[in-house]
Structure 1
Amino acid sequence: MKSKISFALFIFLIASMLLLITSRFNNDGWFLLNSGRYVENFGIPHTEPFTIHEGFHFVMQQWLFALGLWKIYEIGQMQGVLLFTWAMGAVFIFVFYKLLQLVDSHDAAVSRILTVGAAALMSVYFTQRPQIISGFIFLIEIYVLEYLKDKERPPWAIYGLFFILSALLINLHAAMWPMLSIFVLPYLAESIFGARIPWFPHIFLWKWKYTALLWVPILIAGFLNPYGIESMTYAFHSYGYEEINALITEMRPLSLGSNSYSSIILSIILILTVIYARNPLPLHWILLFAGTAFMAFLAVRSVFLFLIAGLFPLAFILHRSSFKKAESKATTWKRTWPMVILMSLAATVGLLFILEKYTIPPDKLGLLITIICFLLLLSLFYAYILWKERTRQNEIRANARNLFFTLVLLLMAPLFYLYHDTPLVNPALKKSIEVIQEDAADRPISLWTGYNEGPYAEFHGFPCYIDARAEVFLPKLNHKKDVFKEYVSLKDGLLDYHDFMKRYHFTHLLTTTNDPLYTYLKNDKDYVLLWDSDTDDSISEKERKNLKEKYRVYKYQPE
């Protein structure tokens, strides 16, 4: 009965994390929905169809994911899209948990605690972007290889599975297709060198020719896409640009400045691994861990790959460490109560800090207080049971774990309300588009937007100057013009805006405090201010405080 309660708490905590973190709509989702709608109505494009730029060569490398997302939106609107995100996150975490159990089948506590940590870290990547599917494909790849690691000759069906995974990946997220082959490399290295290097345990027993043979179905299936070689080599043309890396946070290397959260977490994981991995590990685990950690430090977006492929060996490492400690030092009340006190104090301080720093909506305050009181009583109950059964080693472990799960839920309760109190669509951006639609009155529009505002405007049918598909605006891919460099030059004040305006014929301009046009056009007699988020009463004071930028809509109307 107690084990069932513990498992129920574990499941409830994971579900709460997913609901808390994944129930948001990612800005990139707008251009993906727009792309999916286009594919459904007109087929797969080879010329860029959404911007004001004409004749740009185009590879819609996410076409299948975009089409699927659009069909979900057609059926269930925004609620359907959010449900898809939550469901994918739940399946993802379930498979990751099974992978941890596969690596360490003896200690449920280690697997569950690592799963909770992984869910908290991975959930930020569970969005309406194709990385949730490509990441899941990589997870399936690793799980299957780990599951069959003790067979010298794998079943032939495995090659059919890799063919299917490759065919899906090249159409769902072509930019990540090469990683399917790269993740085979650590396993191939152990197939070749594992038995020849005595200080590494050899657990991946495939003969090297069977491992190398995995690349055959991967390569053949890679051609099953509407763009051929262009999709297969998309990654080599779309990354490594200085202007993109400087503007887009996820393309920057990890640093304690702009990415302190990810940097600290990744550093803690690396330190834990070094401290506890006192025994030799299999070669392919070391290569997976080191390779994905290196990629994560090069670019923030690759942290997700590290969590998928570099984190799971920790289950084996921590189990071996805790098993040895358990042999020498039993879990006693004397060793446990300081940890209980620290956990309780940390949860209490964290809860008080959240409640003091943020204002809970009055209409939700009563239910929130009820939930917090329930979780406080449940925490006190487990603390009492822990003290009552302090002489029983196994019960101390189980009750301490349950207390930990309950205290984490206690911290999450107010965060859940705060997170879901913010609107899915930026109210100022939404109002800006409504103003432009009203002013245009079905007349043709050529719209200036910044990088982040373009996707939403294009979803509503307005051709824009630029949007969040950074690589589309590079000459190496569009075969025409370096729009991205032009945009960065204007943004950084290196390009005079008068010269810039002569190159284009914008009818309207949606500006933010993130670009210089927001200020310059206010004093330019050729442009009329249609709307300002700072003075619009329809934007509440609370919404205005939450805006990262201020918005202004201008219309070109020369005297």
Structure 2
Amino acid sequence: MKNKISSILFILLIASILLLFTTRFDNDGWFLLNSGRYVENYGIPHTEPFTIHEGFHFVMQQWLFALGLWKIYEISQMQGMLLFNWISGAIFIYIFYKLLQLVDNHDTAVSRTITAGATVLLSFYFCQRPQVISGLIFLIEIYVLEYFKNRERPPLIIYGLFFIFSLLLINIHAAMWPMLSVFILPYAAESIFGARIPWFRHSFLWKWKYTALLWLPILIAGFINPYGIEAMTYAFHSYGYEGINSLVTEMHPLSIGPNFYASVILPIILILIVIYARNPLPLHWILLFAGTSFMSFLAIRSIFLFLIAGIFPLAYILHLHSFRRKSQAVTSWKHTWPMMVLMHIATIVGVYCIFLKNTIPSEKFIPLCTIIFLVFALSIACAYILWKERNKQAEIRSNARNLFSTLVLLLLVPLFYLYFNKPLINPALKKSVEIIQENASGHPVSLWTGYNEGPYAEFQGLPCYIDARAEVFLPKLNHKKDVFAEYVSLRSGELDYHDFVKRYHFTHLLTTTNDILYTYLKNDKDYILLWDSDTDDSISTEERNNLKDKYRVYKYQPE
């Protein structure tokens, strides 16, 4: 019965974290939905169809994911988008948990502790982007290799699985297709060198030829896509561009500042692994850890790969060190009750601060307080059980974990009400596009937008100057023009906006405080201000305060 209670609390905790951090719509989802709708109506494109630029060579490297996402949206709109986040996140965390159990000999305490922490970090990546599916494929790839690593010869079904992995990945997220082969490299290294190096624990027993053979089905399946070698080599043409790396946040290296949390959490994980890894580890674990951690320091987006392939050995390390060597003194009631009191005080203060710094809607205040009271009562019940079983060392450990899970749930409850109160679609962006469509009255529109505003405008049928598909605007891929460099020059002031607008026949311009046109056009007699988010009463004060940028819509109308 106690194990069931612990399992229920663990599932509730994971579900709560997933619901809290994945209930959002990612801005990239708009161009993916737009792409999926296009594929359904017109087939696979080879010329870029959504912007004002003509004749751009185009590889829709995420076409299958985009089509699937569009079908979900077509059936169930935004509810389907959120359901996609929740279900894909739950499947991902379940496989991650099973991987941890595989390497820590089913040490439940270790697996659940790491899973709970990793869920918080991983949840930020569970959104309407193909990285969810590509990451899931990588996770299953590692699980399969770890599951069969103790056999001298792998079953033939593995080669069929890797063919399927490759076939899915090249069509769902072609830019990440090479990583399927990269993740085999650490295992290949151990199959060749592992037994010859005494400093490592040799655990991958395949002969090198069986490991190398995995690349054959990957390569064969890679050719089965609408773009052939172009899709297979997409990553080599779309990454490493200095302009994109400087503008796109997820391409930035780790640094103290906007990336503070990632910059702190990642080194903490690295330090923990170095401190506790006093026993020999398999070579492929060390290579996976070192390679993905190095990638994470180079670009924030690679933290997702580090969480997938770099931290699961921590379960084995903690199983051997921390949990196996706990003494009676550490888990005695004398050492437990002060921490229990401190956790309760910290949680109460945390809930109070949430109420103090945020306005709770009046219609939600009573039900919110009721739920908080019930969860707090549950935490008191857990504390009582912990006191009742104070003379049993094993029960103290188990009940202390239950108490901790309950108190974390108590903190999450008010955050749910605040987080779910935010709109999924940026209200200012939505209103801007509506103003443009209304003003155009069915006439053709050539629209200026910035990098982040383009996807939604294009989804609504307005051809734009640029959108969040950064690599599409590089000459290496479009075979025409470096639009991205032009955009960066305009933002930095190196390109005069008068010269810029002469190159294009914009009918409307959707500007934000993030670009120079927001201010300059207001004093230009050739442009009429149609709408300003800062003065529109239809946008509530709360929504306006939550806006990252202010919006202005201009119409080109020379005197």
Taking structure 1 as the reference length, the TM-score comes to 0.99
Letter matched to residue 454 of structure 1: G
**Deviation for aligned residue 1:327:** 5.8
SS at match of 1:552: strand
User: Which position in structure 2 is the counterpart of 1:445?
Assistant: 445
SS at match of 1:530: strand
User: Which position in structure 1 is the counterpart of 2:101?
Assistant: 101
Paired with 2:536 and 2:218, the residues of 1 have a C-alpha distance of 55
Once the two structures are superposed, the pairs formed by residues 104-253 of structure 1 within 5 Å of their partners are 104-253=104-253
User: Which position in structure 1 is the counterpart of 2:38?
Assistant: 38
**Deviation for aligned residue 1:343:** 2.4
Paired with 1:106 and 1:549, the residues of 2 have a C-alpha distance of 48
**Deviation for aligned residue 1:400:** 0.2
User: Which position in structure 1 is the counterpart of 2:260?
Assistant: 260
Paired with 2:265 and 2:545, the residues of 1 have a C-alpha distance of 29
Paired with 2:525 and 2:156, the residues of 1 have a C-alpha distance of 72
Q: Which runs of 5+ in 1 are unaligned?
A: none
Paired with 2:38 and 2:463, the residues of 1 have a C-alpha distance of 14
**Deviation for aligned residue 1:368:** 1.1
Taking structure 2 as the reference length, the TM-score comes to 0.99
- CA offset digits 1:475-498 (Å, max 9, x no partner): 111111111111111111111110
Once the two structures are superposed, the pairs formed by residues 77-88 of structure 1 within 5 Å of their partners are 77-88=77-88
Residue 491 in 1 paired to residue 487 in 2?
no
8 Å CA contact 1:330, 1:393 repeated in 2: no
**Deviation for aligned residue 1:105:** 2.4
Give % identity.
77
User: Which position in structure 2 is the counterpart of 1:50?
Assistant: 50
**Deviation for aligned residue 1:345:** 2.9
User: Which position in structure 1 is the counterpart of 2:368?
Assistant: 368
Paired with 1:325 and 1:348, the residues of 2 have a C-alpha distance of 33
Paired with 1:42 and 1:429, the residues of 2 have a C-alpha distance of 28
User: Which position in structure 1 is the counterpart of 2:433?
Assistant: 433
Paired with 1:176 and 1:64, the residues of 2 have a C-alpha distance of 14
Residue 15 in 1 paired to residue 19 in 2?
no
SS at match of 1:39: helix
Paired with 1:87 and 1:527, the residues of 2 have a C-alpha distance of 47
**Deviation for aligned residue 1:214:** 0.3
Letter matched to residue 477 of structure 1: L
Q: Which runs of 5+ in 2 are unaligned?
A: none
- CA offset digits 1:211-261 (Å, max 9, x no partner): 011001011111011111111111111111111111111000011122101
8 Å CA contact 2:328, 2:393 repeated in 1: no
Paired with 1:345 and 1:56, the residues of 2 have a C-alpha distance of 60
User: Which position in structure 2 is the counterpart of 1:482?
Assistant: 482
Letter matched to residue 377 of structure 1: A
User: Which position in structure 2 is the counterpart of 1:320?
Assistant: 320
8 Å CA contact 1:89, 1:126 repeated in 2: yes
8 Å CA contact 2:34, 2:458 repeated in 1: yes
Letter matched to residue 370 of structure 1: T
Give aligned pairs, total: 559
**Deviation for aligned residue 1:384:** 1.6
Letter matched to residue 24 of structure 2: R
SS at match of 1:326: coil
Paired with 2:10 and 2:105, the residues of 1 have a C-alpha distance of 17
Letter matched to residue 214 of structure 2: L
**Deviation for aligned residue 1:87:** 0.4
| 133-142 or 97-106, which deviates more | 97-106
8 Å CA contact 2:159, 2:214 repeated in 1: yes
**Deviation for aligned residue 1:416:** 1.0
SS at match of 1:317: helix
Once the two structures are superposed, the pairs formed by residues 295-310 of structure 1 within 5 Å of their partners are 295-310=295-310
**Deviation for aligned residue 1:330:** 5.9
Paired with 2:265 and 2:284, the residues of 1 have a C-alpha distance of 23
SS at match of 2:509: strand
8 Å CA contact 1:254, 1:300 repeated in 2: yes
8 Å CA contact 1:435, 1:530 repeated in 2: yes
8 Å CA contact 1:530, 1:552 repeated in 2: yes
Paired with 1:327 and 1:347, the residues of 2 have a C-alpha distance of 28
Letter matched to residue 400 of structure 1: A
**Deviation for aligned residue 1:120:** 0.7
Letter matched to residue 274 of structure 1: V
Letter matched to residue 296 of structure 1: S
8 Å CA contact 1:446, 1:506 repeated in 2: yes
User: Which position in structure 2 is the counterpart of 1:2?
Assistant: 2
- CA offset digits 1:254-273 (Å, max 9, x no partner): 11122101111111111111
Paired with 1:274 and 1:347, the residues of 2 have a C-alpha distance of 31
**RMSD between aligned alpha carbons?**
1.0
User: Which position in structure 2 is the counterpart of 1:287?
Assistant: 287
Letter matched to residue 392 of structure 2: R
8 Å CA contact 1:170, 1:225 repeated in 2: yes
Once the two structures are superposed, the pairs formed by residues 437-476 of structure 1 within 5 Å of their partners are 437-476=437-476
Paired with 1:106 and 1:442, the residues of 2 have a C-alpha distance of 63
SS at match of 2:202: coil
- CA offset digits 1:120-179 (Å, max 9, x no partner): 110000000000000000000000000001001000110010000001000000000000
**Deviation for aligned residue 1:380:** 1.2
8 Å CA contact 1:534, 1:550 repeated in 2: yes
Residue 502 in 1 paired to residue 502 in 2?
yes
**Deviation for aligned residue 1:383:** 1.2
Paired with 2:398 and 2:326, the residues of 1 have a C-alpha distance of 15
Paired with 1:349 and 1:486, the residues of 2 have a C-alpha distance of 50
Once the two structures are superposed, the pairs formed by residues 501-520 of structure 1 within 5 Å of their partners are 501-520=501-520
| 363-372 or 449-458, which deviates more | 363-372
**Deviation for aligned residue 1:329:** 5.4
8 Å CA contact 1:58, 1:472 repeated in 2: yes
